[in-house]
């Protein structure tokens, strides 16, 4: 095509402001108001892209979002791949180039794929590249390189310099689309008093009214209505804003693209939604129907009237419907030579043939295009006339129109149904909670569109309890509107492109049908029809209709595939809004987190968004050296760690004991004030859900702790027990205090000395303060609660105090502990210490599949209680204990490296290689739950869950190990699950 | 994104709540049930093509456990009421 700029006209452009830009390095000029596509077309650029699979040259097909190919790489003012040229506004200094072509758009090495197209049908990658299997990594690399669309800009790993915004708004009605129907409905509802948001993705209102010559009744009405709307304070009119998603309960997402690169995302709650989204045209199907120079007829008029651009000099119109004829008439008016109008139908509305005759245009009825020639730009179109004779026409623009269908994506996203209408040959919506009005309703022509707008507005008004005023409906003459179907028999031989974005041809559809991928959803996934960035806007209906015909059904029997939000691509930055980086997911910090970071601790994220110290490396230390030092300090001197994320709850009331007896497996009613015990909570299926402690502070006050990761889940369980199980009858009350109380743990043989050095106000001797007791005291002048609880297996005091005082106490402990050899330890050291003791941890040994008996915690379960959560399921487990996993210790030879956490323990009598052993069912007898290097014992120790582990003490088992060649195995000995101080004397002393 | 009308707090976004799935009342006498009946309570849920009864917890609000009846086709909330006394 050789497009050119008309000397006048163009509603959206400002001819007083010229803009310079570059495409593929060529300096060009356009006007303010142009899109990149209209400016390129005006300068005669024919090819803007190469197709996805075959790298065929592609030109401009449409004038808006429905274009399947016009994706270019923007270089300036922002670096972004896959920018749609037909909607991207032109700015001064814009630089862009074609993407998906190497080395350039003009000479693309990958165009070889088009020559080998017979080897690359749809789904070729399912059948090829299977052997030799060892070569797959090479194939994969080549395929991945070829299969992308666009390139990430340099420095893509760094943060996006653009700023986005995310805003929230509530309204009464959201009207999508500011065409005639949308404007009328918005205006009427606004006059009735409703809060209205009117969103349209074009910079100017009017919808398809913009594709008509300026001036006239409709234009005047549009201007008047817009002025009236803009004067009303309760109306928001948003140009360049596209509603892309509809969710439940009136939630809609809209993207304001008035500043590309700085999009604004609107989250709108609108109980009433009116969809006036208009229609989308589709092309005709014939051999090589994707040549540059073939454009949708509606797009020809769009370029003409919106931007004053003629898409070619010598035009042929091929169509199967009445509405496309305006393209020929208007092209003729501006000086494009219209060589022929070819309509598939043998008869058309006489008004059209008369007008064509008056303009001197050649009309061929019952004629169709059979081929288009010209690889880089259209040279000629070959028509087959009704008589059977072939006619070759030298043209540089072939305007095609294969029919229209409603743009029903937003309707379909909420499950709205539509059916194929045999008269209109397009999809027509059925009723839904949102009203579809206007041309999208399927009713062709402006009068019918307005009638549906009136009906839709009335329904919304009555739903809102408002009365619509009597607004006049503009009188617009109706136009002829006849359609005909896409029919397989009208499509000739050759490479007929059905989906241009994914290079899907009619032969691919036939292939899919032959191979049994008959439903549109299977067709889509198998051939990739409709999976491109355009999501099948101009191709999906063709695919459904053609597949129906291949299967011998009527055209409307198969609907197009289900559409999901969003309608068009939106930048991830807009979803994040102004909260990128650390603000997206706030991290929880304890009063000591700053201190940990200042000490150079390596920080981990754990549990429920907590930021915790893993270990505190001194200069020159790595993880293993730091661990050695920290663990030794705890076992030999004294250590302190920050356990503030520990879940904590205060439970009080006369019947609090009933609540606790119900949720925990142990007995609590016999606890005296000042005493506590280790407590396990189960799910109803008997599996361990959480472990912690229960302490009785006074007759009716209790203090429970949980693991930090399960704090919220335990909270839910406590409240569910009170409100759902006990139906609110219990006089018991729960207060979660995880964040309000900090927990500092002092542990090690010299722990007593440290507390005494801090002026502890209570006696710390074994008689005064036994194991699993609680004391209220002051420490360094601060009121605290001291719990003698040990997670490390050493003499240990959990200090609970209000969070705002915790840092002061921590600093005191650090200071007073210097001479005692006090070391701050992190979660890594904690892990090593508890594994040495065989203490379980939720997430390692507690994997959701074990009950407390498997874990050796029968002493914590009182089956003689009348009822507790999980008791019924435990009874069943007790009856069938064979084959259940048991907690065991695993030892490898001294000097060997530790086992891998998660390694599988193989059944002992299996003598296959590990990979086939694991492939065979039930080859695993358990797995390694935790494995560490023990500084106390100077050897590797591990814990695991092993089937019938209690009966297998002393046996040697095979454990898998990851090796360069795959999986290997190594022996380990089953031992009791405790390695340090089995009697527990150190923590009880 | 649903809007749930908490009986104590009014209409709130779904993000304030935690969904605990289909409501199933714990049998009053678990000990008296045979294995099949207990397994049925533990693992089987109805999944009817009809409004479902669910339990939601208003975590970021009043922390009430709510009984919600929801139409799985239209996502309309037919009922949202408290379980026991708060």
SS3 of A177, please? coil
Taking the CA of residue B46 and the nearest CA in chain A, the distance in Å comes to 19
Query: Residue B65 and residue A724: Cβ atoms within 8 Å?
Result: yes
Q: Which chain A residue has the Cα nearest residue B17?
A: A716
**Closest alpha carbon to A968 in A921, A909, A900, A922:** A900
Angle in degrees, 0-180, between the axes of helices A540-550 and A520-527, rounded to the nearest 10:
110
Does the beta carbon of A249 lie under 8 angstroms from any beta carbon of chain B? yes
pLDDT top residue among A272 and A131? A272
pLDDT in tens, A406-439: 999 999 998 888 899 888 888 889 865 558 888 8
Which of A685, A715, A728 faces B42 most closely, judged by CB atoms? A685
Q: Which residues of B touch A722 (CB under 8 A)?
A: 84
Q: Which of B42, B64, B67 to mutate to test the interface with A (most CBs of A within 10 A)?
A: B42
pLDDT in tens, A340-382: 999 999 999 999 999 999 999 999 999 999 999 999 999 999 9
| β pairing state of A272-275 and A435-436 | parallel
Query: Residue A723 and residue B65: Cβ atoms within 8 Å?
Result: yes
Q: Which residues of A touch B86 (CB under 8 A)?
A: 723, 728
Q: Which residue has the tokens 């206007």?
A: A438
Cβ contact A691:A708 at 8 Å: no
Return the bridge partners of A287, or none: A371, A496
pLDDT category at A561 given cuts 50, 70, 90 is confident
Q: Which chain B residue has the Cα nearest residue A432?
A: B74
pLDDT category at A905 given cuts 50, 70, 90 is very high
SS3 of A511, please? helix
Q: Which of B8, B55, B74 to mutate to test the interface with A (most CBs of A within 10 A)?
A: B74
Rounded CA gap, A289 and A291, in Å? Answer: 6
Percent of chain B scoring above 90 in pLDDT? 72
Q: Which chain B residue has the Cα nearest residue A736?
A: B63
Q: Which of A221-225, A961-965, B51-55 has the lowest mean pLDDT?
A: A961-965
pLDDT in tens, A244-253: 999 999 999 9
Q: Which of A121-135, A554-568, A611-625, A673-687 has the lowest mean pLDDT?
A: A121-135
Cβ contact A29:A71 at 8 Å: no
Q: Which residues of B touch A684 (CB under 8 A)?
A: 26, 42
Rounded CA gap, A549 and A543, in Å? Answer: 10
Query: Residue B42 and residue A867: Cβ atoms within 8 Å?
Result: no
- The yes-or-no verdict on residue B86 having pLDDT over 50 is no
Does the beta carbon of A733 lie under 8 angstroms from any beta carbon of chain B? no
Length of chain A as a residue count: 989
Q: What token pair was written down for A360?
A: 């001197």
SS3 of A133, please? helix
Does the beta carbon of A873 lie under 8 angstroms from any beta carbon of chain B? yes
- The yes-or-no verdict on residue A618 having pLDDT over 80 is yes
- The yes-or-no verdict on residue A240 having pLDDT over 70 is yes
Structure confidence at residue A131 (pLDDT): 78
Structure confidence at residue A917 (pLDDT): 62
| β pairing state of A241-246 and A251-256 | antiparallel
Structure confidence at residue A721 (pLDDT): 95
Q: Which of A172-181, A666-675, A913-922, A944-953 has the lowest mean pLDDT?
A: A913-922
- DSSP classification of residue A868: -
Taking the CA of residue B42 and the nearest CA in chain A, the distance in Å comes to 7
SS3 of A287, please? strand
Q: What token pair was written down for A200?
A: 């349209």
pLDDT in tens, B16-29: 999 998 888 899 88
Query: Residue A249 and residue B55: Cβ atoms within 8 Å?
Result: no
Rounded CA gap, A883 and A873, in Å? Answer: 16
Structure confidence at residue A648 (pLDDT): 97
Angle at A274 between CA B15 and CA A89, to 5 degrees: 85
Structure confidence at residue A230 (pLDDT): 97
Q: Which residues of A touch B16 (CB under 8 A)?
A: none
- Residue A103: is the preceding peptide bond cis (ω within 30°)? yes
Residues 6+ apart with CB under 8 A from A153: A79, A80, A81
Does the beta carbon of A911 lie under 8 angstroms from any beta carbon of chain B? no
Rounded CA gap, B84 and B67, in Å? Answer: 10
Q: Which chain A residue has the Cα nearest residue B11?
A: A249
Does the beta carbon of A727 lie under 8 angstroms from any beta carbon of chain B? yes
Taking the CA of residue B83 and the nearest CA in chain A, the distance in Å comes to 6
Structure confidence at residue A583 (pLDDT): 76
Cβ contact A716:A780 at 8 Å: no
User: For the residues of A235-258, what is the DSSP string, one character each?
Assistant: EEEETTEEEEEE-GGGEEEEEE-S
Angle at B84 between CA B79 and CA B86, to 5 degrees: 105
A441-463 residues labelled b (16+ CB within 10 A) or e (exposed): bbbbbbebbbbbbbebbbbbbee
Structure confidence at residue A162 (pLDDT): 78
Q: Which of A265, A585, A723, A867 to mutate to test the interface with B (most CBs of B within 10 A)?
A: A723
User: For the residues of chain B, what is the DSSP string, one character each?
Assistant: --EEEETTTEEEEGGG-EEEEE--PPPS-GGGS-HHHHHHHHH-----SSPEEEEEE-TTTT--EEEEEE-TTT--EEEEEESS--
- The yes-or-no verdict on residue A765 having pLDDT over 90 is yes
Structure confidence at residue A493 (pLDDT): 80
What is the dihedral angle through the alpha carbons of A704, A707, A712, A714, rounded to the nearest 10 degrees? -50
Query: Residue A247 and residue B74: Cβ atoms within 8 Å?
Result: no
Q: First and final CA of chain A: distance in angstroms?
A: 93
Taking the CA of residue B71 and the nearest CA in chain A, the distance in Å comes to 12
Structure confidence at residue A218 (pLDDT): 86
Count of A-B CB contacts under 8 Å: 64
Q: Taking residues A16-45, what's their average pLDDT? A: 96
pLDDT category at A134 given cuts 50, 70, 90 is confident
Query: Residue A867 and residue B30: Cβ atoms within 8 Å?
Result: yes
Q: Which of A699-708, A910-919, B54-63 has the lowest mean pLDDT?
A: A910-919
Domains of chain B in start order, with CATH, are 1-22+51-86 (3.30.2270.10)
Which of A248, A685, A728 faces B84 most closely, judged by CB atoms? A728
Does the beta carbon of A719 lie under 8 angstroms from any beta carbon of chain B? yes
Structure confidence at residue A46 (pLDDT): 87
Q: What token pair was written down for A948?
A: 């019938």
- The yes-or-no verdict on residue A547 having pLDDT over 90 is yes
- The yes-or-no verdict on residue A919 having pLDDT over 70 is no
Query: Residue A872 and residue B38: Cβ atoms within 8 Å?
Result: yes
Which of B42, B74, B83 faces A724 most closely, judged by CB atoms? B83
Query: Residue A872 and residue B86: Cβ atoms within 8 Å?
Result: no
Q: Which residue has the tokens 């929880």?
A: A588
Percent of chain A scoring above 70 in pLDDT? 97
pLDDT in tens, A324-334: 999 999 999 99
Q: What token pair was written down for A280?
A: 């989308």
Does the beta carbon of A622 lie under 8 angstroms from any beta carbon of chain B? no
| β pairing state of A235-238 and A196-199 | parallel
Rounded CA gap, A161 and B7, in Å? Answer: 45
Half-sphere exposure of A823 (CA within 13 A, CB side): 25
Q: Which residues of B touch A247 (CB under 8 A)?
A: 1
Query: Residue B83 and residue A685: Cβ atoms within 8 Å?
Result: no
Taking the CA of residue A340 and the nearest CA in chain B, the distance in Å comes to 51
**Residue A85 Cα to chain centre, angstroms:** 25
Rounded CA gap, A677 and A692, in Å? Answer: 9
What is the interface pTM, i.e. ipTM, of the complex? 0.96
Rounded CA gap, A400 and A300, in Å? Answer: 9
User: For the residues of A12-33, what is the DSSP string, one character each?
Assistant: T-EEEEEEEEEETTEEEEEEET
Helix, strand, coil abundance in chain A, percent, nearest 5: 30, 30, 45
Which of A248, A726, A873 faces B75 most closely, judged by CB atoms? A248
Q: Which of A303-307, A685-689, A957-961 has the lowest mean pLDDT?
A: A957-961
Cβ contact A756:A764 at 8 Å: yes
Query: Residue B59 and residue A685: Cβ atoms within 8 Å?
Result: no
Structure confidence at residue A918 (pLDDT): 63
Q: Taking residues A80-95, what's their average pLDDT? A: 94
For chain B, the residues whose C-beta falls within 8 A of a C-beta of chain A are 1-3, 18, 20, 26, 30-31, 33, 35, 38, 42-43, 55, 57, 59, 63-65, 73-75, 82-86
Query: Residue A867 and residue B31: Cβ atoms within 8 Å?
Result: yes
Query: Residue A723 and residue B86: Cβ atoms within 8 Å?
Result: yes
Q: Taking residues A909-920, what's their average pLDDT? A: 61
Q: What token pair was written down for A838?
A: 């065989």
Cβ contact B22:B53 at 8 Å: yes
Taking the CA of residue A873 and the nearest CA in chain B, the distance in Å comes to 8
Structure confidence at residue A1 (pLDDT): 55
Query: Residue B84 and residue A727: Cβ atoms within 8 Å?
Result: yes
Residues 6+ apart with CB under 8 A from A208: A179, A278, A298, A439
pLDDT in tens, A480-534: 777 777 777 778 788 999 999 999 999 999 999 999 999 999 999 999 999 998 9
Q: What token pair was written down for A638?
A: 């004294």
Segment 828-867 of chain A within 8 Å of chain B by CB: 867
Structure confidence at residue A103 (pLDDT): 86
Segment 9-38 of chain A within 8 Å of chain B by CB: none
Angle at A734 between CA A731 and CA A735, to 5 degrees: 145
Query: Residue A727 and residue B57: Cβ atoms within 8 Å?
Result: no
Q: Which of B6, B15, B34, B38 to mutate to test the interface with A (most CBs of A within 10 A)?
A: B38
Query: Residue A867 and residue B65: Cβ atoms within 8 Å?
Result: no
**Closest alpha carbon to A958 in A901, A892, A885, A888:** A892
């Amino acid at each position: 095509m050789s497009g050119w700029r008309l000397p006048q006209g163009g509603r959206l452009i400002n001819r007083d402001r010229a803009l310079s830009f570059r495409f593929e390095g060529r300096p060009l000029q356009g006007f303010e108001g142009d899109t990149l596509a209209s400016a390129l077309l005006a300068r005669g650029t024919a090819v803007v892209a190469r197709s996805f699979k075959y790298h065929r040259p592609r030109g401009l097909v449409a004038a808006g979002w429905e274009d399947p190919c016009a994706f270019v790489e923007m270089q300036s003012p922002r670096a972004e791949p896959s920018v749609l040229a037909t909607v991207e506004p032109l700015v001064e200094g814009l630089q862009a180039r074609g993407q998906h072509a190497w080395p350039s758009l003009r000479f693309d090495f990958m165009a070889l794929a088009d020559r080998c197209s017979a080897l690359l049908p749809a789904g070729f990658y399912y059948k090829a590249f299977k052997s030799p299997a060892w070569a797959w990594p090479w194939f994969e690399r080549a395929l991945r390189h070829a299969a992308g669309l666009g390139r990430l800009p340099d420095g893509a790993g760094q943060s996006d310099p653009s700023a986005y915004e995310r805003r929230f708004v509530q309204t009464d009605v959201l009207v999508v689309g500011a065409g005639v129907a949308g404007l009328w409905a918005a205006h009427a509802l606004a006059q009735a008093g409703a809060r209205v948001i009117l969103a349209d993705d074009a910079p100017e209102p009017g919808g398809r009214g913009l594709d008509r010559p300026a001036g006239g009744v409709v234009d005047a009405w549009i201007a008047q209505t817009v002025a009236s709307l803009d004067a009303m304070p309760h109306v928001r009119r948003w140009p360049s804003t596209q509603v892309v998603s509809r969710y439940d309960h009136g939630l809609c997402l809209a993207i304001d693209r008035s500043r590309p690169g700085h999009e604004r995302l609107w989250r709108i709650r609108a109980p009433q939604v009116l969809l006036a989204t208009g229609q989308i045209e589709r092309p005709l199907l014939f051999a090589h129907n994707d040549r540059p120079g073939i454009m949708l007829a509606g797009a020809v008029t769009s370029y003409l009237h919106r931007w004053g651009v003629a898409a070619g000099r010598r035009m042929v119109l091929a169509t199967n419907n009445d509405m496309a004829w305006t393209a020929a008439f208007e092209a003729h008016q501006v000086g494009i030579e219209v060589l022929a109008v070819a309509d598939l139908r043998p008869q058309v509305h006489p008004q059209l043939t008369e007008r064509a005759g008056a303009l001197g245009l050649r009309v061929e009825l019952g004629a169709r295009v059979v081929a288009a020639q010209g690889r880089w730009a259209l040279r000629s179109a070959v028509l087959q006339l009704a008589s059977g004779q072939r006619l070759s026409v030298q043209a540089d623009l072939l305007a095609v129109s294969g029919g229209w269908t409603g743009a029903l994506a937003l309707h379909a996203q909420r499950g709205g149904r539509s059916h194929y209408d045999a008269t209109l040959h397009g999809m027509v919506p059925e009723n839904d909670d949102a009203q579809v009005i206007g041309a999208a309703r399927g009713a062709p022509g402006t009068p019918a569109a307005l009638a549906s707008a009136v009906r839709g507005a009335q329904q919304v008004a009555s739903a809102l309890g408002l009365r619509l005023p009597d607004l006049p409906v503009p009188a617009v003459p109706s136009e002829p509107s006849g359609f005909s179907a896409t029919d397989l028999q009208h499509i000739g031989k050759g490479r007929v492109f059905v989906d241009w974005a994914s290079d899907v041809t009619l032969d691919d559809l036939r292939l899919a049908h032959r191979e049994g991928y008959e439903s549109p959803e299977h067709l889509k996934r198998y051939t990739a029809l409709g999976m491109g960035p355009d999501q099948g806007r101009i191709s999906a209906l063709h695919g459904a209709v053609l597949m129906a015909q291949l299967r011998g059904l009527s055209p409307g029997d198969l609907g197009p595939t289900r559409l999901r939000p969003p309608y068009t691509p939106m930048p991830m930055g807009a979803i994040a809004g102004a909260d990128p980086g650390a603000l997206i997911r706030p991290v929880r910090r304890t009063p000591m987190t700053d201190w940990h970071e200042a000490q150079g601790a390596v920080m981990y994220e754990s549990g429920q968004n907590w930021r915790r110290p893993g270990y505190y490396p001194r200069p020159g230390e790595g993880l293993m050296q730091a661990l050695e030092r920290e663990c030794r300090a705890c076992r030999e001197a004294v250590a302190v760690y920050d356990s503030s994320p520990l879940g904590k709850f205060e439970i009080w009331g006369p019947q609090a004991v009933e609540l606790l007896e119900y949720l925990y497996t142990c007995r609590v009613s016999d606890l005296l004030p000042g005493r506590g015990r280790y407590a396990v909570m189960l799910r109803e299926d008997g599996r361990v859900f959480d472990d912690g402690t229960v302490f009785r502070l006074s007759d009716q006050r209790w203090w429970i702790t949980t693991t930090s990761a399960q704090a919220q889940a335990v909270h839910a369980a406590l409240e569910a027990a009170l409100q759902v199980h006990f139906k609110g009858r219990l006089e018991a009350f729960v207060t979660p205090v995880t964040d309000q109380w900090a927990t500092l743990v002092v542990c090690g043989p010299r722990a007593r000395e440290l507390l005494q050095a801090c002026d502890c106000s209570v006696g710390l001797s074994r008689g005064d303060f036994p194991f699993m007791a609680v004391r209220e005291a002051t420490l360094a002048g601060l009121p605290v609660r001291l719990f003698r609880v040990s997670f490390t297996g050493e003499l240990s005091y959990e200090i609970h105090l209000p969070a705002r005082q915790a840092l002061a106490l921590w600093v005191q402990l650090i200071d007073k502990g210097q001479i005692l050899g006090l070391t701050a330890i992190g979660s890594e050291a904690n892990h090593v210490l508890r594994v040495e003791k065989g203490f379980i941890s939720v997430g390692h040994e507690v994997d959701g599949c074990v009950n407390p008996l498997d874990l050796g915690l029968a002493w914590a379960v009182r089956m003689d209680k009348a009822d507790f959560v999980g008791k019924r399921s435990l009874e069943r487990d007790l009856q069938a204990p064979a084959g259940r996993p048991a907690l065991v210790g695993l030892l490898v030879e001294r000097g060997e490296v530790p086992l891998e956490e998660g390694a599988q323990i193989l059944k002992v009598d299996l003598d296959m290689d590990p990979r086939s052993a694991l492939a065979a069912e039930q080859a695993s007898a358990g797995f390694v739950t935790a494995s560490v290097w023990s500084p106390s014992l100077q050897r590797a120790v591990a814990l695991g869950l092993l089937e019938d582990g209690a009966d297998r003490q002393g046996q040697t088992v095979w454990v898998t190990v990851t090796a360069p060649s795959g999986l290997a195995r190594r022996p380990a000995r089953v031992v009791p699950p405790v390695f340090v101080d089995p009697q527990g004397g150190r923590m009880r002393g | 994104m649903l809007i749930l009308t908490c009986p104590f707090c009014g209409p709130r976004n779904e993000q304030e709540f935690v969904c605990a799935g289909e409501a199933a009342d714990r049998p009053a006498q678990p000990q008296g049930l045979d294995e099949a009946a207990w397994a049925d309570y533990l693992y089987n849920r109805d999944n009817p093509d009809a409004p479902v009864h669910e339990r939601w917890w208003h975590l970021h609000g009043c922390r009430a456990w709510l009984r919600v009846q929801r139409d799985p086709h239209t996502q309309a909330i037919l009922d949202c009421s408290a379980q026991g006394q708060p």
